[in-house]
Amino acid sequence: MFAYNSAIGKLAKRHFVQMAWFVLLLFSAVLHAQTPKPVVTLNVDQIISRASDEKRKYLEEFRNLLAKETKTFRLFDHDKVKKERKIVSNFLVYDLSKNKNEVTEFRNVLSVDGRPVAEVEKRAVDLFERIAKAETTQKELERIQKESLRYDEEIQIVGLTLFQGISMDERVRNSFLFELAGKDRIGDSEVYVINYRQTWPSPLIRITDKAAAAPAVLDYDFDLDGLTNVNERLSGTFWIDANTFQLVREKRELSIKPDDFDAPLTVTANEFEYASSSFGIRTPKRLTHTQFRIDKRNRRSIREIEFVFEYSEFTRPDVEVKSDKAAG
């Protein structure tokens, strides 16, 4: 005989309903977990635009930062090092007192090839006294650069740390073609990889002589051994942080192609590497500048000079450096 216990039946039915609800909730949770989050896709123009905004923030925050700079200079002959010099300096991004909108690089040289420079502090004080008396911004700038670069005999380079991503500059951006090559990873950062090349000439990117006075975005003074109509062009690659849109790395080349040359030749190559900092920007870590000599006869580029700039962690001085304070 089979006897049905209604109490047990009701209990079993209740457990079945509860189990059904549990399975339904579990299934809903799985579906929710598997539903992909919306992905924000940026095109290359949007990435460059946001990176350009960060570039402007970089220069604002970079003002009055201090680091130890080690600059290694190499002169080549037939691709062999003919001469080498190492200069260690206290490096400062200096606000010009005559024009609050302009900054420059100031180097207080500490040693050359391991030999300490005499009276370092006295030279710095004397310099700030002299620049406080400068009548114009140009005079102030000339005095700072003369002191900073007095051991750079063969070639003098100014401003590599100051101006990131030249091709992003709104004044020349229309002269470039930007192409998104994909994503990569540098250290802990996911980065956009963007190739660029100059497709249209710009008077603001040029190779000139020292007589040129008009401002430029990039201006090199080269001896091109009589070559004219060189059709200078800039090209390179950006690695841009996918979260902050700050520049993590850049490689760029400036090339020329005179009218009677079959192919362009590189005259300078640069590589820029930046490190995270406590100032909300990436600061210079290692910069390389390589300059080439043009062999007109064989129509090829020959490596001639290389500068490597390496920086310690940047800090902000306890006292803001101003020439008018030094004068007092």
- For the stretch 29-68, pLDDT in tens is 555 555 555 556 899 999 999 999 999 999 899 988 999 9
In a domain, 18, yes or no: no
pTM beyond 0.85:
no
| pLDDT above 90 (res 228) | no
In a domain, 313, yes or no: yes
| pLDDT above 70 (res 69) | yes
What is the predicted pLDDT for the residue at 48? Answer: 97
In a domain, 222, yes or no: yes
Q: How confident is the model at residue 319 (pLDDT cuts 50, 70, 90)?
A: low
Question: What is d(CA 186, CA 242) in angstroms, rounded to the nearest whole number?
Answer: 11
Q: How confident is the model at residue 311 (pLDDT cuts 50, 70, 90)?
A: very high
**Average pLDDT of span 184-197:** 96
> Over the stretch 295-307, which tens digit does the pLDDT of each residue have?
888 899 999 999 9
Q: How confident is the model at residue 322 (pLDDT cuts 50, 70, 90)?
A: low
Question: What is d(CA 319, CA 178) in angstroms, rounded to the nearest whole number?
Answer: 42
Q: How confident is the model at residue 129 (pLDDT cuts 50, 70, 90)?
A: confident
Q: How confident is the model at residue 142 (pLDDT cuts 50, 70, 90)?
A: confident
Contact 58, 244 (CB under 8 A): no
User: How many Cβ atoms are within 10 Å of 14's Cβ, its own excluded?
Assistant: 10
Q: How confident is the model at residue 3 (pLDDT cuts 50, 70, 90)?
A: very low
Worst-scoring range by mean pLDDT, 51-55, 110-114, 132-136? 132-136
Alpha-carbon dihedral angle through residues 156, 100, 208, 86, given to the nearest 10 degrees: 10
Domain enclosing residue 225, as ranges: 44-62+73-88+156-319
User: How many Cβ atoms are within 10 Å of 137's Cβ, its own excluded?
Assistant: 15
What is the predicted pLDDT for the residue at 219? Answer: 84
In a domain, 270, yes or no: yes
Give the tokens for residue 315.
Answer: 């800090």
In a domain, 78, yes or no: yes
**DSSP summary character for residue 187:** T
Alpha-carbon dihedral angle through residues 66, 70, 75, 78, given to the nearest 10 degrees: -120
| Long-range pairs for 266-274: beta carbons < 8 A, 24 or more residues apart | 266/292, 266/301, 267/207, 267/220, 267/222, 267/224, 267/232, 267/291, 267/292, 267/294, 267/301, 268/220, 268/292, 270/160, 270/236, 272/160, 272/164, 272/247, 273/248, 273/249, 274/246, 274/247, 274/248, 274/249
| pLDDT above 80 (res 316) | yes
Q: How confident is the model at residue 155 (pLDDT cuts 50, 70, 90)?
A: confident
What is the predicted pLDDT for the residue at 136? Answer: 84
Q: Give the closest residue to 274 by CA, choosing from 162, 142, 154, 129.
A: 162
Q: Which residue has the tokens 């209740």?
A: 14
What is the predicted pLDDT for the residue at 211? Answer: 53
Contact 47, 192 (CB under 8 A): yes
In a domain, 243, yes or no: yes
Mean pLDDT of the chain: 84
In a domain, 306, yes or no: yes
Contact 173, 196 (CB under 8 A): no
67 strand-pairing partners: 91
In a domain, 302, yes or no: yes
Question: What is d(CA 232, CA 259) in angstroms, rounded to the nearest whole number?
Answer: 11
CA atoms within 13 A on the CB side of 119: 5
Helix (H) or strand (E) holding 158: none
What is the predicted pLDDT for the residue at 2? Answer: 39
Number of domains in the chain: 1
What is the predicted pLDDT for the residue at 23? Answer: 45
Q: How confident is the model at residue 209 (pLDDT cuts 50, 70, 90)?
A: low
